[in-house]
Structure 1
Amino acid sequence: MPLEPINPVSDPRIERKTAVLNGFTYHYLYGVPPGEKLIATVFLIHGWPDLSLGWRYQIPLLLDMGFRIVAPDMMGYGGTDAPKVPPNPINLYGLKRASDDIAELARQLGAEKIILGGHDWGGFVVWRAAQWHPELISHVFSVCTPYTAPQKEYLSLEDLVKSALPQFAYQIHLASGEVEKSVNSEESVRQFLKGLYGGRGPNGEYAFDPHKGVLPENLSKIGNSKILNGKVLDYYVKEYSRHGIHSTLNWYRTRMVNWEEDLALQDKKTISIPTLFVQATYDSVLKPEMSKTMEAFLPNLTRGEVAATHWALTQKPEEVNAILRNWLKGQGFGTKSSL
């Protein structure tokens, strides 16, 4: 019997907490397994345009298995601070800062070791966090986002789109400042979210194209999404209306600073701890062929795949959960071991 996803309004399985991490306040979902069966702590890191609640189907599984759960809203999202850039530096939205904030939250919670899971941008974060804080991270899993090694030479987003990854052109649009001009009210946020999560217009109109970005001319036409609707959609609209869309898009403005900070990781390209990568077969951006070389850097890699689009966590939750459960059990969790 599938586990009930976390209810966004009220759910006894989780608490909503805040913590000041390196000077900024984060909101996070916190859950402790029932009874005395805590075996480890799992941090779950979301991407764009998502929230900590994006893990609503995985949190119950992990709690049931005996894991303590920590799922933060990342910088610029939901109940977490959204510092303006400028005057603040853009690296507040970078991979190193996210890694450092995860490490600080783990320290405050008394977790000497954590398992780290990510999706979308969160997947990129967890790979880097394992490199920035190897003493903290015992296991890493990523859904959809393949591992990419730190690069010695800088490649601009424009050059990347012209060469290996034309489907990343949407990132140029997201970083441009244009999206905020059309997604700037509660109603437009609602239409935007419905569209990004697969909603279509009456004639098949869509709101997002990997080669173009957000399509503002179609937003008003978008109908309901099958995977983000009802009270969950209402929650997302409320949370995205706190700061507006701009701060979440700062993550797409960090390519240069991420590369600069990655230079310190040139001798840490290999991640030797146990890792899991769950590929979404029909992801139109993070395509399966992008993960071909991962074994060269991840000697302890396990692979899984689900027949889903980018939103595998909520589109095929039972399949994702089965892969995650089997991998964790294969790593010895579910016994009386503890971290």
Structure 2
Amino acid sequence: MSLQPIEPTGDPRIDHKTAVLNGYTYHYLYGVPPGGQYKATVFLIHGWPDLSLGWRYQIPLLLDMGLRVVAPDMMGFGGTDAPESPPNPINVYSLKRASDDIAELARQLGAQKIILGGHDWGGAVVWRATLWYPELISHVFAVCTPYTAPHKDYVSLEDLVAGFLPQFQYQIHLASGEVEKSVNSEATIRQFLKGLYGGRGPNGEAAFEPEKGVLAENLPKIGESKLMNGKVLDYYVREYSRNGIHSTLNWYRTRKTNWEEDLALLDKKVISTPSLFVQATYDSVLKPEMSRNMEALLPNLTRDEVAATHWALTQKPAEVNAIVRRWLESQGFGESRSSL
């Protein structure tokens, strides 16, 4: 039996809730298995340009396995606050701040231990949260995002692009302030989302290239996306129109802040927590070679791979779910109630 994805609104399996975490209001999706009993709590952390609903195919699986699910909109996204920076310091968008807010939400929900899963920026968050709060995170998994250890030397985005990761050029563009000039209305947000999720123009025009960034001149030409359409697209457009796209791009302005905060973790690089990394074979940014040698710092790592692009969660949900289910079962969380 395949599990139906969570609907954007009115889905009885989840509630839309809010919580004040260290001074800012977060929106999150909350679900418990039928009957209200659960074996453990799973937090799911999304990336860019996504929302908590990006986990819509995985939430039903986890509920079906008897787990409580918490999926927040991260700072600057959707129904969560989007503080302006400046005047607020950019570290309200840092990995440390996200980790602190996850820990606070877990405390408010009475979860002494959580399983933590992430995708894209959410993957970076969950690896760092496991370093900051090893006593809270019982298990951790990331889809697409490899673990990168804290480093004593600062490497700028420009140097990174000029060196090992030319495909990270888009991050310089996203941090520049240029994208907001062309993605600044419901209509342009709609075209932008369709394009980032694979929609193309009539002659194959793309809205995004890793070595360039967002291609504003192509946005009006973008057609329908197979991965982001209908009610889900409408929901994303509404949520991204709340505060505009600028606040979500602040995550790309935190590189130096993240490095500065990481300095406190230099002696804690090894993650002994049971972990799962799911590589997307055709991810054009987080390429397979970036995950080499992770075992050296993650002694309890399980690896798997799905033949998908960066949007593996929604492009190949059955395959991702099967990997996550197998891993959770191997960690003692038991079989799900339905065969998938």
| TM-score interval, smaller chain | over 0.9
Q: Return the alpha-carbon distance in structure 2 between the equivalents of residues 327 and 121 of structure 1.
A: 22
Q: Return the alpha-carbon distance in structure 2 between the equivalents of residues 251 and 291 of structure 1.
A: 22
Q: Does structure 2 retain, via aligned residues, the 8 Å contact 1:20–1:26?
A: yes
| Superposed CA RMSD | 0.9
Q: Return the alpha-carbon distance in structure 2 between the equivalents of residues 287 and 98 of structure 1.
A: 25
Scaled by the length of structure 1, the TM-score of the pair is: 0.98
- TM-fit CA distance, 1:10: 1.1
- Residue 204 (structure 2) aligns with: 204
- Residue 253 (structure 2) aligns with: 253
- CA deviations 1:259-303 (Å, max 9, x no partner) are 000000001100001000000000000000000010000000000
Q: Does structure 1 retain, via aligned residues, the 8 Å contact 2:207–2:214?
A: yes
One-letter amino acid of the counterpart of residue 193, structure 2: L
Structure 1 residue runs of 4+, over 2 Å off?
A: none
One-letter amino acid of the counterpart of residue 239, structure 1: E
- Residue 240 (structure 2) aligns with: 240
- Residue 105 (structure 1) aligns with: 105
- TM-fit CA distance, 1:9: 2.0
Paired positions, count: 336
- CA deviations 1:15-57 (Å, max 9, x no partner) are 0000000000000000001125410000000000000000000
Q: Return the alpha-carbon distance in structure 2 between the equivalents of residues 200 and 227 of structure 1.
A: 12
- Residue 267 (structure 2) aligns with: 267
Q: Does structure 1 retain, via aligned residues, the 8 Å contact 2:65–2:335?
A: no
2:35 pairs with 1:35: yes
- Residue 313 (structure 2) aligns with: 313
- CA deviations 1:230-262 (Å, max 9, x no partner) are 000000000000000000000000000000000
Q: Secondary structure at the match of 1:204?
A: coil
Alignment of 1:172-211 (within 5 A): 172-211=172-211
Alignment of 1:164-175 (within 5 A): 164-175=164-175
One-letter amino acid of the counterpart of residue 212, structure 1: K
Scaled by the length of structure 2, the TM-score of the pair is: 0.98
Q: Secondary structure at the match of 1:25?
A: strand
Q: Secondary structure at the match of 2:25?
A: strand
Q: Return the alpha-carbon distance in structure 1 between the equivalents of residues 210 and 10 of structure 2.
A: 35
Q: Return the alpha-carbon distance in structure 1 between the equivalents of residues 9 and 87 of structure 2.
A: 35
Q: Secondary structure at the match of 1:302?
A: strand
Q: Return the alpha-carbon distance in structure 1 between the equivalents of residues 244 and 334 of structure 2.
A: 41
Unpaired segments of 5 or more residues in structure 1? none
Q: Secondary structure at the match of 1:248?
A: helix
One-letter amino acid of the counterpart of residue 226, structure 1: K
Q: Return the alpha-carbon distance in structure 2 between the equivalents of residues 293 and 227 of structure 1.
A: 32
Q: Return the alpha-carbon distance in structure 2 between the equivalents of residues 247 and 128 of structure 1.
A: 21
2:10 pairs with 1:10: yes
Q: Return the alpha-carbon distance in structure 1 between the equivalents of residues 70 and 46 of structure 2.
A: 11
One-letter amino acid of the counterpart of residue 103, structure 2: A
Q: Return the alpha-carbon distance in structure 1 between the equivalents of residues 335 and 239 of structure 2.
A: 38
Q: Return the alpha-carbon distance in structure 2 between the equivalents of residues 281 and 123 of structure 1.
A: 16
- Residue 213 (structure 2) aligns with: 213
- Residue 58 (structure 1) aligns with: 58
- TM-fit CA distance, 1:201: 0.2
Alignment of 1:74-93 (within 5 A): 74-93=74-93
Q: Does structure 2 retain, via aligned residues, the 8 Å contact 1:39–1:334?
A: no
